[in-house]
Structure 1
Amino acid sequence: MHNEISFSIPELSSMKHYPEKLYYRGNIELLRQPKISIVGTRRPNPYTRAMTFELSKKLALSGMVIVSGAAAGVDAIAHQGAGAENTIAVLPCGIDLRYPSANAELIKSIESRGLSISQFECGFEAREWSFVVRNEVVVALGDLLIVTEADHASGSMRSVEYALAMGKPIYVLPHRINESAATRQLLAEGKATAIDDMDRFVAFISQQGRNSIEDTPFIAYCRTNPIYDEAVVKFPNEIFEAELSGLIEVKNGRVSVL
């Protein structure tokens, strides 16, 4: 069972050709939220894995929706870090195929709690060129692009080309000399900005999102300056993560948004 998107998505107007059709499963309202695109290698090193997960989680807690391509590696980690309810998976195949099969359960959970979209008819199997087409949609949907690790001549760098053409800001993780050669080159050429302080970056990006759209239910609730014990009962998972991430402050038994 799938549906066809019947309204225009302003972000996709930055694409060279607006998709003729878009199919979806899940919560279409996520398209109306501030979105961040995250891409990267299918074989991330341990540092990239940990940082991608943490960054996605903190961005989602601050009200951002994470967009990625459901591929192995960085894509899957970004979806998992955000949580299925805060992520959009863009598929390179028909929406009924849940490709790659190794991530079928992840994609299924995103369909149930988040949003899965595709511009390909049901039954269409992923091909080399359809990954490129998928990447353009991933980049177009986000307010900015984050590349957590990438090598030269990779699919992630094709995504960077789209971001540059669309005028999207590009951010990367700082890496050691012999790692992620492509993102280090982007920094050297002044085409990307390094995320040197994750909490400061998340605070900056989430503020931009708040300036453009309503808060998430959790953040909106925190803005009412609730009693901490009541907030813990209402949002047990979010409250602790937000406190650790520096998104909220607990003072005199009450919660406030920083």
Structure 2
Amino acid sequence: MPILDTKIKELEDMKKYPEKLFYDGNLELLKRPKISIVGSRRPLKYSKTQISNLASKLSNAGICVVSGGAMGIDAIAHQGAGANNTISVLPCGIDLRYPSVNKNLLNDIAENGLLLSQFDVGEKSRPYSFVLRNEVVVALGDALIVGEADEGSGTMRSVEFALEMGKDIYVLPHRIGESNATNKLLQNSKAKLITDIDSFIYSLYPDAKSAKEIVSDDFLKYCSTNPSYEDAVAKYPVRIFEAELSGEIVIKDGSVRVLT
């Protein structure tokens, strides 16, 4: 697997820049504005829905979603963004797929998005590797979104990294007794609340509309190859329906065609 031969500016916020970074996929994603999303491996249905919607809207605005490929919030964030507009940072060798339950998702990201790892090929995940992985995830993003977390969870180590790096932290509104860690962050004024997804995106990226054109161009370029409808839905689960409704594309004989 190739090793990145140039430095990623965002990672200079880390305590120690990784000695080496393996990659698999599209390095152009590193040039896009990026948001990191982390959270519980066993999220509530509410958190799943909101994070999926948030990641989808970020992606449609041209913002790349960064996460750690784990079960729960991580996987939902990757899926919501679409494999072509997400970066997954692995806690193991870049040739491995951990956790195995996300094997298909990680393979899709390798093919259409970007996988990163600071661990040698074949190296299995260990307790310390998750911590190192989390630091890279946080450093890559312009800000950190915590979808849901309990006190004392691994997610809170990511929060500590964000605070050390001076990154803004955002959380979802949760009821009393749910996601106690994020509620405590709000209580202690260490996080900001996302009350409206569109307003949140605009507050961080006022020119998000122009950024959206980047994703649109990628999508239409893909559609110009006349892919099957099934493949297009798998690759662009949200964008495909929007484009069909807006008249940018048409579905004919099981294939996608661009209307000019």
Q: Which amino acid aligns with 2:61?
A: S
Identify the residue that residue 224 of structure 1 maps to in structure 2.
none
Cα pair 1:151 1:182 within 8 Å, conserved? yes
Q: Equivalent pairs: percent with the same residue?
A: 56
Separation of aligned partners in 1, 2:205 and 2:99 = 31
Query: Equivalent residue for 1:130?
Result: 129
Distance 1:111 1:202, change over 3 A: same
Find the aligned partners of 1:207 and 1:24 in 2 and give their Cα distance: 31
User: Match of 2:70?
Assistant: 71
Equivalent residues of 1:84, 1:109 under 8 A apart = yes
Q: Specify the SS of the correspondent of 2:122.
A: coil
Task: Tell me which residue corresponds to 2:14.
Answer: 15
Mark the CA change 1:142 to 1:5 in structure 2 (over 3 Å): closer, same or farther: same
- Equivalents in 2 of 1:219, 1:178: separation in Å? 44
- Cα distance change on mapping 1:242 and 1:198 into 2, 3 Å: farther
CA gap of 1:236–1:13, structure 2 versus 1, over 3 A, is closer
Partner of 1:17, secondary structure, is coil
1-side partners of 2:120 and 2:237: how far apart?
A: 40
Q: Deviations over 1:132-171 (max 9, x none)?
A: 0000000000000000100011111100000000000000
What's the secondary structure of 1:38's corresponding residue? strand
1:163-192 CA deviation, whole Å, 9 max, x = no partner? Answer: 000000000000000100000000000000
Change (3 A) 1:217 1:67: closer
For the aligned residue pairs, the C-alpha RMSD in angstroms reads 2.5
Give me the whole-angstrom Cα distance separating, in 1, the residues matched to 2:244 and 2:135: 35
Q: Measure how far apart 1:103 and its partner are.
A: 0.4
Distance 1:58 1:20, change over 3 A: same
Change (3 A) 1:162 1:241: farther
Alpha-carbon distance between aligned partners in 2 of 1:242 and 1:153, rounded to the nearest angstrom: 43
Aligned residue in 2 for 1:189: 188
From the superposition, tell whether residues 169 and 215 of structure 1 become closer, same or farther in structure 2 (CA, over 3 Å): farther
Q: 1:236 to 1:168 in 2, by over 3 A?
A: closer
Matches within 5 A, 1:76-87: 76-87=75-86
Contact preservation (8 Å) 1:61, 1:242: no
Q: Which residue of 1 aligns with 2:226?
A: none
Structure 2 equivalent of residue 238 of structure 1? 239
The runs of 5 or more residues in structure 1 that have no matched partner are 222-234, 249-258
CA distance 1:158–1:208, shift in 2 (3 Å) = farther
Q: Please give the TM-score of this superposition, normalised by the length of structure 1.
A: 0.83
Rounded to whole Å, the distance in 1 between the matches of 2:96 and 2:115 is: 11
AA partner of residue 118 (structure 1): S
1:92-137 per-residue CA deviation (whole Å, 9 max, x = no partner) reads: 0000111111101100000000000100000110001100000000
Name structure 2 gaps, 5 residues minimum: 220-235, 247-260
Instruction: Give the deviation of 1:83 after TM superposition.
Output: 0.2
Q: Deviations over 1:49-68 (max 9, x none)?
A: 10010000000000100000
What is the TM-score when the length of structure 2 is the normalising length? 0.83
Report the 3-state secondary structure (helix = DSSP H, G, I; strand = E; otherwise coil) of the residue aligned with 2:206: helix
CA distance in 1, matches of 2:130, 2:203: 31
Count of residue pairs brought into register by the alignment: 231
Contact in 1 for aligned 2:202/2:208 (Cα 8 Å): no
Matching of residues 1-258 of structure 1 within 5 Å: 2-207=1-206, 216-218=214-216, 238=239, 241=242
* Distance in 1, Cα, partners of 2:37 & 2:238: 23
Match of 1:225 in 2: none
In the alignment, residue 77 of structure 2 is paired with which amino acid?
A
- Kept in 1, the 8 Å contact 2:38–2:73? The answer is yes
Whole-angstrom distance in 2 between the partners of 1:135 and 1:217: 27
Deviations 1:16-53 (A, max 9, x none): 00000000100011011100000000000000010010
Structure 2 residue identity aligned to 1:121: D
